[in-house]
A and B are shown apart, each in its own frame.
Chain A
């Protein structure tokens, strides 16, 4: 469904600060894939996401969505069919607006007109959807999001994104800024929603056991390259030890250092 063809990203090309962030990436995301992505800091995971979301354009190569070349489509246009959640829980919602207003804004993608869509029927619908989160938010529809915890806001961002039915969802370490308990809740909700709505998804994580537990495909990245791609049965057989071994086998550098970063 989404294909990256020979994509390279070079920051500050031609200057002393030249930095090859991604080197010749070829990736084909199939419909219904749930891909987990691991890699140490600076491996290019977030750059890969920025590339697919349209925050940056590749230096070389092209990006295709359902056969259409979207390499130069701006981020806001691609957001019509791509949902993205960031590590920072504040980026998904507006702090100074009420919960129901936030849900109304994110309910439908695309430009908004002079129409008042928030009515009793919509409120009832939002309330029933909020029940799925089991956080008691359905009683706090008029409260400002400033009053909510990071975990609640991230769960809400997730729910609102699922309701807008994107073709691809991208989760950029979306539980990393939360405390362990909330991180677990949000991750379980993520898995539940992805399975229920059969969403095509990509998830960056620093936690190797999560990367193995969730999804049907695993990518390992290092220094701007995808060095390992396991899907289906090959992924099911993976363990943390096997992954670290694999990493060592493929790359012969800085193992001890990377082991700490990868395994946390």
Chain B
């Protein structure tokens, strides 16, 4: 049970890192995610079925996600469409495109073919206990991606993207086109989400157009749980680690809901309600914590 939660938490964690980039670093609420997650899954599965090298298929999924993000950015930048609507437009269009990629089917399995995961399992079996192979693999993958992101956001370009989320005027004043930075940020974010979708498809053994439903809520809830874990930090390494931890905790809550929810007459159909309520509770808690800190400061000043 605990390995299952950790593995799912880490797979979705890659997506949560993507959502963290748009919502927190760029301050761009991007809903493309609901489409780019199954896009990654679809490209991965079709790539494998066409006999591609599975790592090449993963790269294809990443590139597909990047393109989806860039399209949202272009719609927003050049047609002056509000950011939420731009994301919804791309997401809606991706639904049809995903079905096309899957060959006019809504669900395509990859149970017999070699995937990255089956390859890793066969290589590592004997070296590691079978039940921990996936856990170790995804821990390494998630950490590599996290560290690469940390490095990226400490380069001049990454810092400029961070500053734009804070203060767009500052970036304009530096002679940088904020549209370019938004395009890069959205591309990177959706690329990661697609990679997450590609891993999810291999882990589940199929790609489904419905995989992306509510992904944005999962991502957002995970980011918020992660933020709740620590006090405010300006270190990107801490923030990305929190995003991953938040993802694992969120999956743990969902697991409890799925397997023990029947005690309070809950069915799997109630999970979306639980996700929404979880976000609302987190918002309330964060608000009241802020008020408490403010009240404490006022006391100290007296």
Contact = CB atoms under 8 A, between A and B. Distances in A.
Interface of A: 74-77, 79-80, 83-84, 86, 90-98, 101-102, 104-106, 109-118, 144, 164
8 contacts: A75-B172, A76-B176, A84-B173, A93-B170, A101-B162, A105-B174, A111-B177, A112-B156
Per DSSP, chain B at the interface is helix
A54 to B, nearest CB: 9
A97 B159 contact: yes
Interface of B: 152, 154-160, 162-163, 166-167, 169-178, 180, 234
B176 A110 contact: yes
Contact of A104 (B159, B167, B169, B176): B159
A106 B175 contact: no
Per DSSP, chain A at the interface is loop
Given A91-B167, A93-B170, A105 B156 contact: yes
A114 to B, nearest CB: 5
Contact of A144 (B160, B180, B234): B234
Contacts of A164: 174
Given A112-B156, A114-B152, A98 B173 contact: no
Contact of B172 (A76, A98, A144): A76
A82 to B, nearest CB: 9
A133 B174 CA distance: 22
A94 B167 contact: yes
Contacts of A111: 175-177, 180
B245 to A, nearest CB: 20
A94 B156 contact: no
Given A90-B167, A117-B156, A144-B234, A112 B176 contact: yes
Contacts of A76: 171-172, 175-178
Contacts of A74: 177
A92 B172 CA distance: 10
A129 B194 CA distance: 45
A105 B152 CA distance: 14
Contacts of B170: 91-94, 105-106
List of 5 A-B pairs having minimum Cβ-Cβ separation, nearest first: A94-B166, A112-B156, A80-B175, A94-B163, A109-B175
A101 to B, nearest CB: 5
Given A76-B175, A115-B157, 19 more contacts: A74-B177, A75-B172, A76-B171, A80-B175, A91-B167, A91-B169, A92-B170, A95-B166, A96-B162, A98-B234, A102-B163, A105-B160, A106-B174, A111-B177, A112-B157, A112-B176, A113-B156, A114-B155, A116-B155
A79 B173 CA distance: 5
A98 B167 CA distance: 14
Contacts of A86: 169
Nearest to A84: B173
A100 to B, nearest CB: 10
A77 B177 CA distance: 8
